[in-house]
Structure 1
Amino acid sequence: MNPVSISPIGLFLEAGIIGKAVMLALFLVSIWCWFLIVEAWIAARRLWRAVGDARGVVVAPLVAPVLSAGDEAAAIRVATETHADRRWRIGESMTRAARGLLLRAEGGLPGLAVISSTAPFVGLFGTVWGIMSSFAGIAEAKDRSLAVVAPGIAEALAATAFGLAAAIPASIGYNRLAALFSHVSADLDCLVQERTDLLVSGRKATQAAREAV
């Protein structure tokens, strides 16, 4: 009896056509999962640093559109607008720009959510197919020995392992990155509020100076 290799490559080579297709698809999805994780982590770190710089002295180009939206809204003069209305309009302009910036930075998170939820079911399909192959081998050989069922069972378990190998990093990465982006979103919201206060107070100071003259 030839021993069944338990290495990923050995299990892939010994699997049938359907099993190989499932394993190959899950392997490619796993590579894509790690690409999305690294891409989203880099985007979150860059945005976090940019927000921190903008709250200091240096304005990073990454958050410049958010601040520009506030400047453009503050430059608009509405005669019948109250102080509260003006504050809301400036803040809303920057909030929309900040929301678009976050959506672009979080581009890979939906993909991670899809991988974490669907990869186990794809692996389960390979598992069911491997078990069906085992029963078909038993019926064809009319033998219930381990040598007959071992290849199909190994293929079934390999498909399950490949599915988990893609789903587990995707699930962990999604949750950790979602928490990181939540912190970034809070910092960006603070930046919007601080910038709104600065623009509104600057406008009030200018009006007071004109009235004094």
Structure 2
Amino acid sequence: MKDMPTRLDAAGLRARLDGPRPPRLLDVRTPGEFAAAHIPGSYNVPLDLLREHRDELCRHLDEEVVLICRSGVRAGQGEQALAEAGLRNTRVLEGGILAWETAGAPLNRDGRKRWDLERQVRLVAGTIVLVAVVGSAALPGLKWVAAFIGAGLTFAALTNTCAMGMLLAKLPYNRGASCDIQTIRARLADDGRPA
């Protein structure tokens, strides 16, 4: 297993995509995030499915693979999961979709604005803390709910994981028809590239 994922900036990825053997692009964000904006030619393989089916997915990934997410964090986790399954030809888009867009690189958009997963986590965590603190005036024990959320956010920062994000990713808002393993496997096995 690699200690650190190999990073690739937006300019480097654009050059590779224009080359004779472009890499396979796997976007590990939720289907909702992917639909809102994604790099043309990328495949949506949500991080939870990638982790669960990494051995099966590795059988369909024989060329160079570049993993993409919003900022690079989830893509790094995906790279580690694939490395644990034996895949060594992976890179992570440094800065994710945010860096890609800042570089003026092309994006396919569905026209709908969607909140990314990190923003959803901030909304849910903040709302729970606010309600717990305000409610603790009437029910003093509610302050422990706010403390629990604070502890969870601290743990998430220290481990670079987010249980709340993983739960929110399973909501219908963040899911789509393309997020089942059979569809993903069929697309990866197909010789053509997705739109």
Q: TM-score range by the shorter chain?
A: under 0.3
Q: Which has the higher helix share?
A: 1
Larger radius of gyration: 1
- TM-score normalised by structure 1 residue count: 0.24
Q: Which has the higher strand share?
A: 2
